[in-house]
Amino acid sequence: MAGQSIHIDGSIMEGGGQILRNAAALSAITKQPITICNIRAGRKQPGLRPQHLTGLNLVSTISQGSSLTGCSVGSNRIELRPGKFLAAGDYVADTLTAGSCTLMVQQALPCLLFAVKTTYATEGGDSGMPHCPPSTSNLTLRGGTDADMAPPIDYLTHVLVPTLLHTFKPLDLQVRLVRRGFMPKGGGEIKLYVQALERGTQLPAFDLTARGNITKVQVRAYYAGHVTEATAQQMADEASKEMRQLCGNEERVLFKQTVVKETTSSAVGDGYSCSIVVETDTGCILGAALPAKSSRVQPKPAAGQAVEELKDCILRGACVDQWMQDQLIIYMALAEGESKMLCTEPTLHTRTAITVVEKMLPGVLFQVSTVYNKRDKNREPLWMIRCKGAGLTGRYVQ
């Protein structure tokens, strides 16, 4: 697909780092050069921040032989000319700040699914090596795990990764939290294991339109440093109470609650995190996770905010939560066949992701439509997002 550079305005719509993440990942996968200008132009601190810089450099490193220019803190324009192939291997990326580790996962994971072993690619590819070991990658990411304005590690571990594993069987993907890093110190670390798609195989289209019945609600609260156990316990208790009210105290729903104290070896800084994960009998997973903006915690409002994030999705019967919507867009575009998901009103992040993906992958089009409940016309509608993907194939031989 390589050709003239695709120009993307980094200030359009949501205008944030997600434009960089999706555009850079798709550039590396398709070998299509990109130029992104006006990066984060409307933000309080416009241009690249350390986490964006680290993520872009990571993608450039995975894309062997690539050229990345303009990649410095504060830069409002970058150019990426991808290399000849995506290399599986061991990578370390450190923001040196509290910049989000989970946002770097969003950028690197799609690339690693289409990666090949360096020896395989450099020794002749398909013609030179009829068989080679599976292309596996180990990614170590350091920075903030429970950062503001980003999915916390608990969302990645308990919602996104399980959803991808359920949706794209038999995907081999594992994530492990080594150490939490709270604002403003960072210092967290996560590890990601990814096995690339087999040569000639594709991500399958998925159908997330049958919500089913809620079977399990898991509330987890973590605390570290000067945050007290009593505070975390109150937060978990309040979240559990409100979730029982929201789910109607149905006997068929299993409610579980966990409160964990992080030690000085398992967390850096003072902070907390409250996460709620909802599972259904059709395999849908909805989640909300709230990291601390300050160690001075008000437990009940914090718990209430986490529950509020899920309320609309649960009451309307959505199959994905508002945070999952935009994260699935790139996978819908890469998959083979028509994928669809039922959600609440698409967020600005979701609509921005669709715009960027359609520009990067000509021929891939998304359809967004409202879906009304036939039995309850007064109920707020859901939205159906459909996409016939590009059907890109894996590149290694097993």
Query: Stretch 214-241: mean pLDDT, rounded?
Result: 93
Give the 3-state secondary structure of residue 221. strand
> Coil, helix or strand for 113?
helix
List pLDDT tens digits, range 24-56.
Answer: 999 999 999 999 999 999 999 999 999 999 999
SS3 content of the chain, % helix, strand, coil (to 5): 30, 30, 35
> CATH 3.65.10.20 spans which residues of the chain?
6-208+320-388
R_g of the chain, CA atoms, integer Å: 21
Please state whether beta strands 6-9 and 34-37 pair in parallel, antiparallel, or not at all (unpaired): parallel
Q: Residue by residue, what is the 3-state secondary structure of 20-80?
A: HHHHHHHHHHHCCCEEEECCCCCCCCCCCCHHHHHHHHHHHHHEECCEEECCCCCCCCEEE
CA distance 98 to 364: 35
Residues of CATH 3.30.360.20 domain(s) within the chain?
214-313
CATH topology of domain 214-313: Dihydrodipicolinate Reductase; domain 2 (3.30.360)
Separation between Cα atoms, residue 90 and residue 88, nearest integer Å: 7
- Looking up tokens 């434009």, which residue turns up? 19
pLDDT band, very low/low/confident/very high, at 290 (cuts 50, 70, 90): confident
H runs (alpha helix) in the chain: 17-30, 50-62, 101-113, 118-122, 125-128, 153-155, 161-167, 229-246, 299-316, 322-334, 348-360
Give tens-digit pLDDT for 153-201. 999 999 999 999 999 988 899 999 999 998 888 899 999 999 999 888 9
CA–CA separation, 332 and 340 (whole Å) = 8
Question: What does the pLDDT read at residue 296?
Answer: 63
Contact 194, 111 (CB under 8 A): no
Residue 63 confidence (pLDDT) above 50: yes
> Which residue numbers are catalytic?
349
Name the pTM for this structure. 0.92
With a CB cutoff of 8 Å and minimum separation 6, the contacts of 221 are 232, 233, 235, 236, 239, 258, 259, 260, 272, 273, 274, 275
Q: Is 106 known as a binding-site position?
A: yes
Please check whether the domain covering 6-208+320-388 is classified as CATH 3.65.10.20.
Answer: yes
